Structures are given as C-alpha cells and as structure tokens.
Amino acid sequence: MSTLSPEILSTLEEQAIELPSWAFGNSGTRFRVFGTPGTPRDVYEKVSDAAQVNRFTALAPSVALHIPWDKVDDYAALRRHADEEGVTLGTVNSNTFQDEDYKFGALTHEDDRIRQKAIDHHFECIDIMDATGSRDLKIWLAEGSNYPGQNDMRARQDRLHDSLQQIYDRLGEAQRLVLEYKFFEPSFYHTDVPDWGTSYAQVATLGDKAMVCLDTGHHAPGTNIEFIVMQLLRLGKLGSFDFNSRFYADDDLIVGAADPFQLFRILVEVIRGGGLNNPDVAFMLDQCHNIEAKIPGQIRSVLNVQEMTARALLLDRDALAAAQSANDVLGAQKVYMDAFYTDVRPALAQWRESRGLDADPMAAYAASGYQERVEADRVGGAQAGWGA
C-alpha cells in the first residue's frame, strides 16, 4: 500500500470540486435526449442529487446553476434548500445558445436589439448571483460563422468586447466574470472565442475581475493543455476549470476517462503554479451523462480528480528539479512516471474511513437506497434536461 504523508492528506482534505446542476438532468446526443427513471424535475431535486455526491465523497460542496434552465421565483428559498442539503450555490452559467434570436450571434450580433437582449440576460444572471451569494458568472458563447466571408470576424470581436465590458461593469465588488472558450461547435468556420489566447485577450482588457475558464475538452487533438494551465496561472488569469474528458469532438465524458495521464499532467502544473486549493481558481465539472447513471457518474469523476491530485502531490519535485538542471532526460521522466504509476487508491480508502466516510463511495451510494427512493418518488411532471 502506498503511503500518503500527513501533509498530502491535509492538502487533499481542502480539495473542493463544484458540480454542474445540468449533470443530473437528461442528456444525450445531437439526435436524441434520453430519459431515465428518477431524473430531477426541477433545480431543487438537482441540488438534492448533487448533495449525495458530497455526502459520500466530501469533495463536492457546491453546485453550479444554469440560467434559464434553473430559474426559480425565490432564490432565497433555493439557497436555504441547498444549505439544508449541506451544499452551497456556486457559479451562475449564462445561456445565449437556445433562443431563436441568437441564431447568428448574441453578444456579437450586428442587431443592437438582439445584442442588448443578450447583455440584459447577463444582467439578470448577476441579479441571481446577488440572491444566491455566487461569486462567478461563467460565459460560454456558441457564436461564430460557418463559411468564409459570412461575417466580419474583427467587427464581431469588437462587439464582443463592448458587450463584455457592459456586463463586467455591472459586476459587484466581490464578483467575477469567467470567459470560457471552445475550439469549435456549433460554428464550423470560425468561433468567436475558440482558444485560451482569445479568451485571455478579451478578459485582459476588462479588468482584474475577469478571468479565463479552461475546459479540458475544448481543444484541438494533441493540444498540450498543461502548457495552457501553466501559462494562465503564470499570468494570473486562470479563473476556473471545467473538468471532463473526450475522445474525438465532444467533451462531456467522466474526467480522466480518455487520458488519465493527461489529467495527472494538468494537476502537476496546477500544483506547480499554486492553483491547488487556491480560492481564485475554481475546480468544477462540466459533464452530461448520456448513458451512465448520473450521481455515480459524478462520484466517479470527483474521485478521479482526487486520485490524480494525490499522485501529482507525490511527485518528487527536488529530484525532478535536479534531473532537469542536469538535462537528465531519462531521469526526469522516471521521476514523473514513478508518481503517476503509484496506486494511491488503498491509501485514499483508508483515509476516507478515518474521516467517517465509506472506503468505497461508489459502493456506499449504491447500497444507500437513494436511487431507488427517487425513482419511486419522482413520478409525474417533466424531467429536467437540456433546455429545462
């Protein structure tokens, strides 16, 4: 059994990973959204399901909201419900990709009326943040063009800056704007915020409360994501992660499913750059579970992040630095791989038991009867999912 030092265990005890409310609703492919028994019918039930992940892992103390999917009449009541379930309400995510008016853009649209509508939606999100106590407004834009010459790309960037500036100026003193990027989809010729450089260029002009969100699935194949993590931490502009995994072009799979070594490499740079347990760098999941059970899918993801964090903390940085200074390529690679190949699962299981948690959160949830109860109780009404 590997041994995790008291220092490592103390560091792991502080780890917190925010869950997305939409992970607990129905999702699917471009061709169909699949329903499952026990799916939440509203945001209250989503929060209750998210709380189960925290109950069995002690890793997920907050839940991100998506507006308008999670709109309610009384956000104070929703906040009380979260408190009763032992979690808090976290990041508020805007949505400008499911309205007919936004077919050709939202914050970048040429029509001032439509652009103002999108800006006003973000003002509403900030009002919700005031009511929920949320710090971060996360913006992902499904905007761009499909054909060369379709739009003036530079003019769209100018309009985007103007829109973001208006939104930024509306933020409260303790609130932040976090701009996400995505390589492509749904636009196929150009995307208005396709990469970390574009996101950085936009937020750098806004002010200190504007940051970049890095989604681990939003890159071209072969991209060195850990280099981007390093650079954004170095620049002080990495505001949050959206952890997930992908094989080809989508990005909603369980964290580490496609490339556990990549997750390890990313976390090595997070630790190196001072991003672990840093309140200015939010760890989050962004996933939709299409065929797997939703609560266990989230449990599996946060455990994968925890496991790779533990392995990254085992990296012998003194030995690595010595090998790097000596240009000992093979020696440095051995130090790196020794940490990655260390099986920390038995030590983590033992540590969980010492904290009053079950050694195996997945098995503990399956034995809890929660899934059977919600499947019996949640009969009738419309199940939550994409767009609800």
pLDDT (tens digit per residue) in 7-16: 999 999 999 9
End-to-end CA distance of the chain: 46
**What pLDDT sits at residue 193?**
98
DSSP of 53-105: HHHHHS---EEEEETTTT--S-HHHHHHHHHHHT-EEEEEEP--SSSGGGTT-
pLDDT digit string, tens, across residues 64-90? 999 999 999 999 999 999 999 999 999
Residue in the block written with tokens 């964290």: 255
Q: How far apart are CA 71 and CA 91, in angstroms?
A: 14
Q: Quickly tell me which residue has 């072009």 as its tokens.
A: 249
d(Cα 208, Cα 230) in Å, to the nearest integer?
19
| Domain positions in the chain | 14-312+369-377
pTM for the whole thing? 0.96
Is pLDDT at 388 greater than 60 in this prediction?
no
Kindly report which listed range (33-42, 221-230, 243-252, 346-355) carries the lowest average pLDDT score: 243-252
Q: State the average pLDDT for the chain.
A: 96
CATH of region 14-312+369-377, choose from 3.20.20.150, 3.40.50.460, 3.10.50.40, 3.40.50.720: 3.20.20.150
* Long-range pairs, 369-377, Cβ under 8 A, ≥24: 370/52, 370/295, 371/38, 371/293, 371/295, 374/38, 374/45, 374/49, 375/37, 375/38
Question: Residue for token digits 């999670």?
Answer: 70
> 300: which 2 tokens?
């599996």
Question: 71: closest CA among 118, 120, 116, 125?
Answer: 125
